[in-house]
Structure 1
Amino acid sequence: MMTLATVNAMTPADFVAAFGDVAEHSPWVAEQAALSRPYPSREAMVAAFETALRGADQPAQLALIRAHPDLATRAKLTDDSTREQKGAGLDTLSDAEFSRFTALNTRYKERFGFPFIFAVKGATKHQILASFEARVENSKDDEFAMALTQVLRIFRFRIEDRVSA
């Protein structure tokens, strides 16, 4: 855990090295957020990441969404995604649960063209699955907006895990 003073004193390159992975495989978000330093609070840092994402054009936002892994995948994940999915119990699914997640991942991506995004920290696999089943029926526009909202929650959780208040 680092202090806000440490974050504010970082060079731009050090900041991106430390926070470039807050946005899954999208260091451009941290590059943009770094321009808002010094941050008066951790909340201001979270807001800078949100502003960077909201200020991006739709193709950049879509690329960031598509950079996220499927939930309950057996593929290699980033350290953050591995820890987050494990915390939600997605690493201990029964064969039936894994099959259900796999089917929903496929259906969702075919319908929307991007993976299902859910900030899993603090959620159970049952809550995630229920949200998945409900959201797969949304419109593409509604689901794109929901995916961005979930990405912003992921930003918050990852920053709160790294920077003291």
Structure 2
Amino acid sequence: MATLRPLTVEDVLRVNGSRRFAAALAAASPFDSLANTLLTARRIWLNEVDVTGWLEAFAAHPPIGTTSSSVSKWSKEEQSAALSTATDSTAQELSEWNAKYREKFGFVFMICASGRTAPEVLAELKRRYANRPIVELEAAAEEELKITELRLAKLFSAETAAPPTSGENHISQPDKAACSSNRTRPPITTHVLDTALGSPAAGIEVHLEMWKDASSPPSFDNKEFKGWTTLGTSITNNDGRSGQLMDIVDNVAPGFYRISFNTSKYAPSGFFPYVSIIFEIKRSQTTEHFHVPLLHSPFSFTTYRGS
């Protein structure tokens, strides 16, 4: 089993520009496999790095399509497909939409561009431009994580003589890891934001359930909801994120799911004693990820499907 030498903060900053992330990952090293490196990186990025750290990491990236000599070797490699397929008009449009995006959201457009053509990148930029800021912040953070995982794979392969075995991780060719990977987290996740305070909501009890009565799916007309089976429970942490609510599986079972939040203990004077969100995973979606956040205030709540 190959082992990566202990990482320095400078090593990790080549991978991800957040100093908080770099310090935490370096402190957790060395790692005995790429799989453990990626699992630790994901945990730190999602659970220990705050929004300030995310924005610091975003700022380390050039706008997509940039050809300046100051762009790092890794960034050039990751954007090579986009740069090679960009016409003059596409490059101009990318530049214009990059500027529009930064003006709206306040940070550079983040995308794991490896293997993506310029038209594909431009289409994704236009699609995500319509997002609400809080939705786009999470989308950008997920793209940053994909880039981080890609670069860690490159760093690992450069430091070890032999490539990882098939049992260690799905990555045998680093570039193949760019924008798709096997799961390193459960297929259903959530977090809670207190929109009245503008901060994560810690200490909220969360339940994830699945509807098990195959003879009668849940509907608006059901008088009694007795078909729910608990998959897992957790308490949101200081970042408002729940712990693991179900097993990490490649394919989640299709069907109806319910995430319930005990908001009465968090906001006892609020209008909602608890909040339940019911959603359906179709058979064509079993390999996808479902992030179902709660944006809560004492007298209102909203949700959306995130990444």
TM-score range, shorter chain: 0.7 to 0.9
Answering whether residue 21 of structure 2 is matched by residue 50 of structure 1, we say no
Specify which of 11, 16, 35 is matched with residue 27 of structure 2.
Answer: 35
Cα offset for 1:69?
A: 1.1
List per-residue Cα deviations over 1:97-142 (Å, max 9, x = no partner). Answer: 1110011001100110001000011222222111111011111001
Q: Can you give the 5+ residue segments of structure 1 that lack an aligned partner in the other structure?
A: none
Higher strand share: 2
TM-score, scaled relative to structure 1: 0.84
Cα offset for 1:159?
A: 1.4
Q: Can you give the 5+ residue segments of structure 2 that lack an aligned partner in the other structure?
A: 157-162, 165-307
Q: Secondary structure at the match of 1:143?
A: helix
Rounded to whole Å, the distance in 2 between the matches of 1:69 and 1:38 is 29
- Equivalent in the alignment of 1:98: 91
List per-residue Cα deviations over 1:11-31 (Å, max 9, x = no partner). Answer: x5xx334333101x4454232
Pick the structure with greater CA Rg.
2
Q: CA RMSD in A?
A: 2.0
- Number of aligned residue pairs: give it: 156
- Equivalent in the alignment of 1:123: 116
Answering whether residue 53 of structure 2 is matched by residue 60 of structure 1, we say yes
Answering whether residue 72 of structure 2 is matched by residue 78 of structure 1, we say yes
Higher helix share: 1
Rounded to whole Å, the distance in 2 between the matches of 1:91 and 1:26 is 29
Rounded to whole Å, the distance in 2 between the matches of 1:62 and 1:93 is 27
Rounded to whole Å, the distance in 1 between the matches of 2:102 and 2:84 is 21
Contact 2:18 2:54 in 1 (8 A): no
List per-residue Cα deviations over 1:126-162 (Å, max 9, x = no partner). Answer: 2211111101111100100000000000011111223
Cα offset for 1:43?
A: 1.6
Amino acid at match of 1:83: E
Residue identity (%): 24
Q: Which has the higher contact order (CA 8 A, sep 6+)?
A: 1
TM-score, scaled relative to structure 2: 0.47
- Equivalent in the alignment of 1:20: 13
